[in-house]
Amino acid sequence: MLEKVEGVVIRTSDYGETHKIITLWTREKGKISVIARGAKKPKSRMSSVTQPFIYGNYLIYIGKGMGSMSQGEVIDSFRSVREDIVKAGYSSFACELADKLLEEREPDPFLFEQLLTTITYIDEGRDPDIVTMIFELKIYRKAGFAPVLSRCINCGREEGPFAFSVREGGYLCGRCKYLDSSAYPLSERFGKLLPLLAEMDVKRLGNVSMKKENKEKLRQLLDQYYEQYGGYFLKSRKFLKQLDRFY
């Protein structure tokens, strides 16, 4: 059955000499993979609508197995993202998280909007570190392994200060920190920052700034946490670490 969907291209791979397999994250159907026949041909009408990060309307055939793409229309090509290696790296990270951690055909309109807004903000030049970390925490929750940031994971205490424990899966209060001697102690202010980012709708971000050392520490904590619970190697994360050496 042919259906019209609104989606973002989060992954592409070659299929034969002229075709592509396109993974779309759609508002209506969730994550789906379809064959775009002839999309590798330079003059194909499918070529421009099947590039990474393209946001568009697509007409697809959905059956029991892999579907096929009939046609597409670009809504936004995110030109700045596609022409800037740093912006492309962060956008790839957001898309790869969605691709690796979301199940097929499980619609989530809110999370779809979060991805779309994340790429839009990166395209507009907002701080890509903050934007992607907000989205990342949303994906962790959807995937079922988000850290507990509203209270002590052991005793339930809601008053800080806290320490962040990768091993225990979230915050530990001062009385429970003995459970993990390697837990990272957080200042009162930093302890409130993590749950704020986790709960924030990225659309309401505004022009938020964060000290470089705080972003670096937050990035380190999230990387360690993902390595413990994520389960999938992320090429884009490795690429961003390499970029950090030059920017």
Same domain for 99 and 28: no
The pLDDT score that the predictor gives to residue 247 is: 63
In this structure, the answer to whether residues 89 and 30 fall within a common structural domain is no
- Residues 56, 87 within the same domain: no
194, 137: one domain: yes
Phi, psi of 206, deg, nearest 5: 70, -160
If asked whether residues 133 and 190 sit together in one domain, one would say yes
Q: Classify residue 7 by its DSSP letter.
A: E
Q: Are residues 49 and 140 in the same domain?
A: no
- Based on the fold, state whether residues 46 and 91 are members of the same structural domain: no
Percentage of the chain surpassing pLDDT 90? 85
pLDDT at 206 over 80: no
Helices (H), the chain: 79-83, 85-101, 109-124, 128-143, 188-199, 212-229, 235-244
Residues 54 and 69 in one domain: yes
Please write the tens of the pLDDT for every residue from 78-107. Answer: 999 999 999 999 999 999 999 999 999 999
165 membership: H or E segment, kind and range: strand 162-165
pLDDT tens profile 5-48 = 999 999 999 998 999 999 999 999 999 999 999 999 988 889 99
Average pLDDT for 176-193: 95
CATH of the domain at 232: 1.20.1440.120
> Considering only CA atoms, which of 2, 12, 122, 130 is closest in space to residue 67?
2
Query: What's the CATH number where 52 sits?
Result: 2.40.50.140
